[in-house]
Amino acid sequence: MMRIVQGGGLDARALVSRETMTDSAAEDAARLIIADVRGEGDAALRRYTERFDGVRIDAIELPETALTEALAAMPEDFARTLRQAADNIRAFHARQVQRGFVISEADGVLLGQRVMPLQRVGMYVPGGTAAYPSTVLMNAIPARIAGVPEIVMTTPPGRDGNVDPGVLAAAKIAGVGRVFRAGGAQAIAALAYGTESVPRVDKIVGPGNAYVAAAKRLVYGQVDIDMIAGPSEILIVADDTADASCVAADLLSQAEHDRMAASILVTTSEALALAVQREIGLQMPRLRRADICGEAIEKNGWIFLTRSMEEAIDISNQIAPEHLELFVEDPFRWLSRVRDAGSVFLGGYAPEALGDYFAGPNHTLPTNGTARFSSPLSVDDFIKKSSFLYYSKEALAAVVPHIADFARREGLDAHAESVSRRFREVDSK
């Protein structure tokens, strides 16, 4: 049952905090796996696939035709849904594209910035007991819009050695180039360092379990990563106009992700709080993942009662949730007060699941309070920037005394000399 607490004066963030996914045991295991993959390449990938996924594989890479065939075999309705979701994601992320610039305001001075795509990105997609075509769309489409020429995907095979056809269909629609049957920390190592089959990438994106998160942390610096994602979370701010059954359903939609997922309601209405408690009890037993929901609700289910909407928003900002629903009469009135949240869902007809699958904004979001300082996955994650500058002889001559003085004040005489020498006659003997 979700616990009800009075919200005023509480350190809400401390109360709902959870351990991070990268515990020491996972990190130790990931470190050993990474070393094996670096040393043995494909042989280590095959060995760990047999150990962890229970299947022997010969070819690590799937043939390109597997993606085309998977899409062709999809039920027409679901294929249409995948394409519409992809169109929505493209339309949203196309607005994020950055352009370079050039500044030429003084005689003989030219400054600028170039925006360039990363050359190869590796995408990790969880598999095994679950399949996530939505993850493929959300990670690959922004990379394509950024101009990344090569996107490769790793995902663990099922017990039959195959990859979920929905994942492969989404990969085809999103523009993934190559797919490899490898999961866990070993897949992250392969992407970071390369093997005989898997190419080395510039950046790794995508969610995973504790071992995947630990491996991403360990290879960061060798490659870039998107984020260290923790368990999922939702926070709903609701007033007395909210529908208790819908609020409960939305809370359960996050609880079914993971036993460590957090479902939090912040409300000004005690009647709503009690009704949501009842609805949770009624709806949860009907779910296929009721056992996971039950454990998540028991560990990380909270209801905060507040005296005002202002106090409710303050609690939300303390927690900085991954998903924030403003399930209130006039959500736009309160949006400007929201400071820290991964994505905000406004009103009674914008459930979090809408963002997970279809609307367009990215569903790869900062978790566990990191929305205080980080952002959703975007086109920006797949670009790099480089500055350039040009000075004519006359333009540099005008500023040499300033640069040389600045350098000497920092004790860097060679810096001063490097600009001064260009304008001094040097004995060539």
Query: Active-site residue numbers?
Result: 322-323
**Residues 62/198, Cβ–Cβ less than 8 Å:** no
Q: What is the DSSP string of 4-71?
A: EEE-TT--HHHHH----S--HHHHHHHHHHHHHHHHHTHHHHHHHHHHHHS---S-SBPPTHHHHHHH
Q: What Cα–Cα distance (Å) separates residue 258 from each residue in 30, 230, 304?
A: 21, 10, 22
Bridge partner list, 391: 109
| Structure tokens, 29 | 């295991």
C-alpha–C-alpha distance, residues 319 and 355, integer Å: 20
301: exposed, middle or buried (Cβ count in 10 Å: 0-12, 13-18, 19+): buried
User: Residue 360 — left, alpha, or beta (φ > 0 → left; ψ -120 to 50 → alpha)?
Assistant: left
Q: What is the DSSP string of 304-365?
A: EE-SSHHHHHHHHHHH--SEEEEESS-HHHHHTT--S-SEEEESTT--HHHHHHTSSS----
C-alpha–C-alpha distance, residues 347 and 240, integer Å: 13
Query: 265 phi and psi, to 5 degrees?
Result: -115, 130
| Structure tokens, 108 | 């003989």
C-alpha–C-alpha distance, residues 366 and 227, integer Å: 8
Q: What Cα–Cα distance (Å) separates residue 170 from each residue in 69, 71, 104, 311?
A: 12, 8, 45, 42
3-state secondary structure of 2: coil
Edge-first strand listing for the sheet containing 109-117? 101-103, 109-117, 383-391
| 29 Cβ contact list (under 8 Å, min separation 6) | 185, 211, 214
Beta-strand relationship, 109-117 and 383-391: antiparallel
Q: Which letter, b or e, does each residue of 177-213 get, where b requires 16 or more Cβ atoms within 10 Å of its Cβ?
A: bbbbbbbbbbbbbbbbbebebbbebbbbbbbbebbbb
